[in-house]
Structure 1
């Protein structure tokens, strides 16, 4: 797979990611949610993530800035990895996986770096793009998440169950975005197709990706 095609994949997914986030910001209030096609298991649920995965935050006044700068360095490293992998004619599995991870990291960086200065807040209102009263500052934006798939939602566990008995249970309560999906898919390729991803140069195991991406 050529570097040009890898970059086209990154750009395409990045555009989809940002369009979805801008649409949610300008059409939903914070914590507003709707059922897609009337189904409980697929919902659009708008939240904003100030930290890392699952809402984890780095404490301290400079925690958010440190996280954003770390992400920028990570993107540079991943971009270099992609360039070298293409240059060394690595497996298409590896190149696609790196491109997906790069897309996800870069997509969330855009939120962290710019959203605080181009949007106003979403509390009780839909945000305005390029607002004259932005909610944050450069490098202190919030990541927009919206995809929610609660396969089992608000199920009350049996009383006889030790510790958790009588408590509500939701299966798969993570809320994420397109960028997160790209990262997860890229990591999944590296895990489940490890031998093919790190095989030396192109080989017969790359047939699927060759037929579809080249």
Structure 2
């Protein structure tokens, strides 16, 4: 009896495993955001280590709160960008699902982008809660699981491209 592979091979690329990875990112992202919003008040911090806090923060802009004080139009702009990016990523996954590292990168980016789109649609802002800092250097802007997935996906994408160039 032949076993069915979870991840596609070069001869049989399926969209399903990659969409499942994106869905898992969305699920973890939304569960953590729901937990933090039910546990914390806006701006409340809880020290976890000497370099990490949990904090409830709202971001109406993009990365690093870019355009967060721009009057509200940015909510729709970044939601639109996220939706267009998601559609394009699904197209790329369908076309290149057999390229594992590339597909992993796209799946993580897709899940992260849609996790933040969900926040913008439901709340009008993105919920951030991971706060890293280093002694006198200050705090890195708060972020969330979706942001982390996007960064890891971008890193995998760069690594995949570097591998291609070296071949």
Q: What TM-score comes out, normalization by structure 2 length? A: 0.83
The aligned length equals: 153
Quote how far apart the aligned CAs of 1:61 are.
5.1
**Structure 1: 5+ residue stretches without partners:** 116-140, 156-168, 200-204, 206-214
The structure where strand makes up a greater share of residues is 1
Determine which structure has more spread, i.e. the larger CA radius of gyration: 1
RMSD: 1.9
What does residue 27 of structure 1 align with?
A: 39
What does residue 179 of structure 1 align with?
A: 146
For 1:111, which of 114, 119, 125 is the aligned residue? 119
Q: What TM-score comes out, normalization by structure 1 length? A: 0.66
Quote how far apart the aligned CAs of 1:60 are.
4.7
Provide Cα deviations, 1:106-158, integer angstroms capped at 9, x if missing partner: 0000000112xxxxxxxxxxxxxxxxxxxxxxxxx1100001121x23x2xxx
Distance 2:25 2:120 in 1: 18
What does residue 136 of structure 1 align with?
A: none
**Structure 2: 5+ residue stretches without partners:** 1-6, 9-14
What does residue 192 of structure 1 align with?
A: 159
Quote how far apart the aligned CAs of 1:175 are.
1.0
Distance 2:132 2:159 in 1: 23
Distance 1:143 1:99 in 2: 20
Which stretch shifts more, 12-21 or 77-86? 77-86
What does residue 166 of structure 1 align with?
A: none
Quote how far apart the aligned CAs of 1:67 are.
2.2
Quote how far apart the aligned CAs of 1:174 are.
2.2
What does residue 84 of structure 2 align with?
A: 73
Provide Cα deviations, 1:81-117, integer angstroms capped at 9, x if missing partner: 112111xx3x2110100000001100000000112xx
1:31-50 alignment runs, 5 A limit: 31-36=43-48, 39-50=49-60
What does residue 96 of structure 1 align with?
A: 104
Distance 1:101 1:113 in 2: 18
What does residue 6 of structure 1 align with?
A: 18
Distance 1:114 1:80 in 2: 26
What does residue 131 of structure 2 align with?
A: 148
